[in-house]
Chain A
Amino acid sequence: MSALLRAIGAMTVNGIWRLGFMARFFYALLRYSGQSFRRLPLTIREIYFSGTLSLLIILVSGLFVGLVLGLQGYDILQRFGSSDALGIMVALSLLRELGPVVAGLLFASRAGSAVTAEIGLMKTTEQLQAMDMMAVNPIARVVAPRFWGGVISMPLLAAMFSAMGIFGGWLIGVLAIGVDDGAFWSQMRASVDFRYDIINGVIKSFVFGVAVSLIAVFEGYDCQPTAEGVSRAITRTVVSSALAILALDFVLTSFMFRGL
């Protein structure tokens, strides 16, 4: 019994410890970001790795999500005789929820895990310490570019996901099923608001980008410097990113769309 209590206590203290370290790490990251922006090619390289290389998975998944939304949406809406509203349903569900969330989850498993693995391996092979010895700040040189690369890529990826999904919904709805082309677009335009729906979606994806990138670089930086430690850090990145995205999504949604 006492061993159990002790284990729970140790887990709690350890968790709070890590949270505090994470906050301090985030502060240092922001502080040294200016230094790393002076060497912009570093960040551009990371945008290539986490953004450009994620393009394929994001576009293909977006297309398939849109195709599924088109089929399911049509099946539900035609029961109420309002299949013309298919465009609204596809666009709103993608812009508000699926775009940011699914793109965030894909981004966490595609790019976040890679960032954790890279930084974790650098730590394991003592490259970070070596940089420190050469008076190169590893946070400014290694961590900050990867963080900002992710933060910049994520909203763009989410926007592409949504655009591709709407295209997929159009393919199924208009080309395959035969919903009226004009009604599909005009109903969509009439009820999708730029500020309320699109900007809120972009804000969501930006917040997810910050959360996923921070978790990814932190888990890499904080990992046990062993092969097992790196693999555990990667697992933790994917698991806690997914949890963070879904929990933040609930919080942001309850702020943004409370039905007025």
Chain B
Amino acid sequence: MSRTTLDLWVGLFVALGFAALVFLAVKVGSYAGASGGTTYAVEAAFDNIGGLKARAPVKSAGVVVGRVGAIHFDSHSYRAIVRLDLDGRYEFPADTSAAILTSGLLGEQYIGLDPGADGEVLKDGSKLQITQSAVVLEKLIGQFMFNKAAETPPPAQ
């Protein structure tokens, strides 16, 4: 058996195919963020999560430090329980607070973590005590309109 030109073309094809896959993985996709190392899960309860979805980013100081793992409704407290899968490389004080924020006017919703000052750190299974719900635009506009209506005097007939 000897090497033929056919092998060269097939080799070139396979190499190109894998090059395309590597290009997609490295340049297009976020390979490191997806499966990078270990995570630990903490829970947070929110009164209203707005449009938050599973897999939404969890950011602290603007850096992605984890992802929203799962969201479910607690029928005892009538609140939304959100599981946050935080990157094992980062530690946060136990009194860290979580808020649901929106990136831009039409952007996706994410969870922002504000570190506290506690000596203890969050561990797997910890619960975040201080949370701030999502801002629901309709409620905000409604409040604004009622306030405006209260301010302006009725038009003179």
Given A52-B10, A82-B106, A260-B54, A160-B20 contact (CB < 8 Å):
yes
Most buried by B among A45, A82, A196, A260: A260
Most buried by A among B23, B29, B34, B53: B29
CB <8 Å contact, B34 and A194: yes
Residues of chain B within 8 A of A189, CB atoms compared: 27-30
Q: In whole angstroms, how far apart are the Cα atoms of A108 and B67 in the complex?
A: 39
- Contacts from A to B (Cβ < 8 Å): 41, 44-45, 47-48, 51-52, 55, 80, 82, 91, 95, 153, 155-157, 159-160, 162-164, 166, 185, 188-190, 192-198, 202, 259-260
CB <8 Å contact, B53 and A260: yes
Q: Within 8 Å of chain A (Cβ to Cβ): is B1?
A: yes
Can you pick out 28 interface pairs between chain A and chain B where the beta carbons lie within 8 Å of each other? A44-B10, A48-B9, A51-B10, A51-B13, A51-B17, A55-B16, A95-B24, A95-B28, A155-B17, A156-B13, A156-B18, A157-B17, A159-B21, A160-B17, A160-B20, A162-B20, A162-B24, A163-B20, A163-B24, A164-B20, A166-B24, A193-B29, A193-B34, A194-B30, A194-B34, A197-B29, A198-B29, A260-B54
**6 nearest interchain CB pairs?**
A156-B17, A163-B20, A159-B20, A194-B29, A52-B13, A160-B20
Q: In whole angstroms, how far apart are the Cα atoms of A164 and B17 in the complex?
A: 11
Q: Within 8 Å of chain A (Cβ to Cβ): is B14?
A: yes
Q: In whole angstroms, how far apart are the Cα atoms of A48 and B54 in the complex?
A: 43
Closest chain-B Cβ to A63's Cβ sits at a distance in Å of 13
CB <8 Å contact, B10 and A48: yes
Neighbour of A185 across the interface among B17, B18, B27, CB < 8 A: B27
